[in-house]
Copies of this chain bind each other. A is one copy, B any other.
Amino acid sequence: MVDLDENYMELALELAALGEGDVNPNPMVGAVVVKVGEIIGKGYHKKYGGPHAEVFALDEAGKESEGATIYVTLEPCSHYGKTPPCAEKIIKMGIKRCVIATLDPNPLVAGKGAKLLENAGIEVKINVLKDAALKQNIVFFKYIEGKIPYLFLKCAITLDGKIATENGDSKWISNEISRARVQGLRHKYMGIMVGIKTLLGDNPRLNARIEGGNNPHRIVVDPGLKTPENYNFIQNNSDNKSIIITSKENIQSGKHLKYEKKYKVKFIFLDGNRFLMVDILKEIGKLGIDSILLEGGNSMISMAFKEKALDGGEIFIAPKITGDNNAIPFVSGFKIGTMKESIELKDTKFNIYGDNIAIEFSL
Name A residues whose Cβ lies closer than 8 Å to a Cβ of B: 157-162, 164-167, 169-173, 302, 305, 315, 317, 319-327, 329-339, 341-345, 348, 350, 352, 355, 357, 359, 361
Chain B residues within 8 Å of A162, by CB: 161
Top 3 closest pairs, chain A to chain B, by CB:
A160-B161, A323-B334, A319-B345
Point out the residue from B165, B173, B343, B355 that lies within 8 Å of A320, measured CB to CB: B343
The CA-CA distance from A173 to B340 in the complex, in Å, is: 9
Chain B residues within 8 Å of A170, by CB: 339
Chain B residues within 8 Å of A164, by CB: 339
The CA-CA distance from A353 to B141 in the complex, in Å, is: 32
Point out the residue from B165, B317, B350 that lies within 8 Å of A338, measured CB to CB: B165
The CA-CA distance from A357 to B357 in the complex, in Å, is: 9
In the complex where A337-B169, A339-B169, A357-B357 touch, is A321 in contact with B331 (Cβ < 8 A)?
A: yes
In the complex where A158-B342, A159-B359 touch, is A336 in contact with B322 (Cβ < 8 A)?
A: yes
Shortest Cβ distance from residue A349 to the other chain B in the assembled complex, whole angstroms: 9
Main secondary structure of the interface of A (DSSP, over half): loop
26 pairs of residues in contact across A and B, judged by CB atoms under 8 Å: A157-B160, A158-B342, A159-B161, A160-B160, A160-B161, A165-B336, A166-B337, A169-B337, A169-B339, A170-B339, A171-B338, A171-B339, A305-B321, A319-B345, A320-B339, A320-B344, A322-B334, A322-B336, A322-B339, A322-B343, A323-B333, A323-B334, A324-B336, A325-B332, A326-B335, A357-B357
The residue of chain B having its C-beta at the shortest distance from the C-beta of A325 within the complex is B332
Other than the given A305-B323, A321-B342, A327-B336, 9 more pairs (CB < 8 A) read A159-B315, A159-B345, A166-B336, A173-B339, A320-B343, A321-B343, A322-B339, A323-B333, A326-B335
Point out the residue from B167, B320, B350 that lies within 8 Å of A345, measured CB to CB: B320
Shortest Cβ distance from residue A127 to the other chain B in the assembled complex, whole angstroms: 29
The residue of chain B having its C-beta at the shortest distance from the C-beta of A164 within the complex is B339
The CA-CA distance from A327 to B341 in the complex, in Å, is: 12
Contact A325 B329 (CB under 8 A): yes
Chain B residues within 8 Å of A361, by CB: 319
Chain B residues within 8 Å of A166, by CB: 336-337
The CA-CA distance from A320 to B338 in the complex, in Å, is: 12
In the complex where A165-B338, A167-B337 touch, is A323 in contact with B343 (Cβ < 8 A)?
A: yes
Chain B residues within 8 Å of A336, by CB: 165-166, 322-324, 327
Counted per complex, copies of this chain come to 2
Chain B residues within 8 Å of A352, by CB: 350
Residue among A161, A166, A344, A350 having the largest count of chain B Cβ atoms under 10 Å: A161
Chain B residues within 8 Å of A325, by CB: 329, 332
Chain B residues within 8 Å of A171, by CB: 338-339
Shortest Cβ distance from residue A35 to the other chain B in the assembled complex, whole angstroms: 44
Chain B residues within 8 Å of A167, by CB: 337
Chain B residues within 8 Å of A159, by CB: 157, 161, 315, 317, 345, 359
Chain B residues within 8 Å of A355, by CB: 348
The residue of chain B having its C-beta at the shortest distance from the C-beta of A349 within the complex is B355
Shortest Cβ distance from residue A330 to the other chain B in the assembled complex, whole angstroms: 7
Shortest Cβ distance from residue A154 to the other chain B in the assembled complex, whole angstroms: 14
Chain B residues within 8 Å of A337, by CB: 165-167, 169
